[in-house]
Amino acid sequence: MVAEKILILANGEWSAPDRLRALLEDADFVIAADGGWAKAVEHGVRVDEVVGDLDSMAEADREALLAAATPVVHAYSREKDATDLDLAIDHALRRKPAQITLYGALGARIDHAIANLHLLEKGIAARVPILLANRRETARYVADVIELANARPGDRVSLIPISEEATASTEGLRYPLDGERLLRAASRGVSNVVVSLPARILVDEGILLVVHEAIEEPDDG
């Protein structure tokens, strides 16, 4: 049996309908983290599970959700030690998926944005890639080697150490690294560019946040 791809819908910014549509087409199972469910309903998106304390939705929406036969709801107390997205990722990992993608995990709050980015590290321990998708950007934590999926020349790639420092090598980028050290308190790895394929990043030591921004699709008109 082929492991599934899970899409988690969070309650942050939903401003890229084309990206969401592509993510839904690629997903085998969809989880909404609390208020992500109301946004899914608004956008006509089918959800398989809802996880959270349900405090980000109107009372009428909450009652309708709990009364419905589907989706499956995993409701938590508001007095909890983890965010709804954190809990949703844990539920997704229990399914032993091939990949988890987060959508709507960024927004107006800096604290939530930082915390949500750090949740990507759960994928390293579980050996399950966890990606954060936002408009044309895809972010993930890397502690070994990755090849950037669907990369094209001109795409922007940033390598940001999460550990105090990281040693990395690259292939296919304009400013190559060859077993060189990147520091968390420096910006050397920001805004590199794909110049050839395949585009690969190898992390020898430490953990990198790799952010891949796809260039605009060419206008055939």
Query: Are 199 and 181 within one domain?
Result: yes
Beta bridge partners of 139: 132, 211
Q: Is 60 helix (H, G, I), strand (E, B) or coil?
A: helix
pLDDT digits (tens, 9 = 90+) for 102-143: 999 999 899 999 999 999 999 999 999 999 999 999 999 999
pLDDT value at residue 3? 87
Q: Find out whether the peptide bond into 218 is cis, omega within 30 degrees of 0.
A: no
Q: What is the mean pLDDT of residues 164-179?
A: 98
pLDDT value at residue 219? 53
What CATH number has the domain bearing residue 86? 3.40.50.10240
Distance in angstroms between the alpha carbons of the first and the last residue of the chain: 43
The total number of structural domains in the chain stands at: 2
> Considering the entire predicted model, what is its pTM?
0.94
Could you tell me if residue 112 is inside a domain? Answer: yes
17-47 burial, b for 16+ CB within 10 Å, e for fewer?
A: eebbeebbeebebbbbbbbbbbbbbeeebeb
Cα–Cα distance, 204 to 193 (Å, whole number): 21
Could you tell me if residue 45 is inside a domain? Answer: yes
Cα–Cα distance, 184 to 182 (Å, whole number): 7
Q: What is the mean pLDDT of residues 172-201?
A: 97
pLDDT value at residue 221? 45
48-74 burial, b for 16+ CB within 10 Å, e for fewer?
A: ebbbbebebbeeeebeebeeeeebebe
Could you tell me if residue 219 is inside a domain? Answer: no
Q: What is the mean pLDDT of residues 148-175?
A: 97
pLDDT digits (tens, 9 = 90+) for 56-95: 888 888 888 888 888 999 999 888 899 999 999 999 999 9
Average pLDDT, the chain: 94
Domain around 64: 5-135
Cα–Cα distance, 26 to 19 (Å, whole number): 11
Amino acid (1-letter code) at residue 52: G
Domain end: 106, 135, 164, which one? 135
Q: Residue 101 is encoded by which pair of tokens?
A: 């993608």
Q: Residue 28 is encoded by which pair of tokens?
A: 């085998």
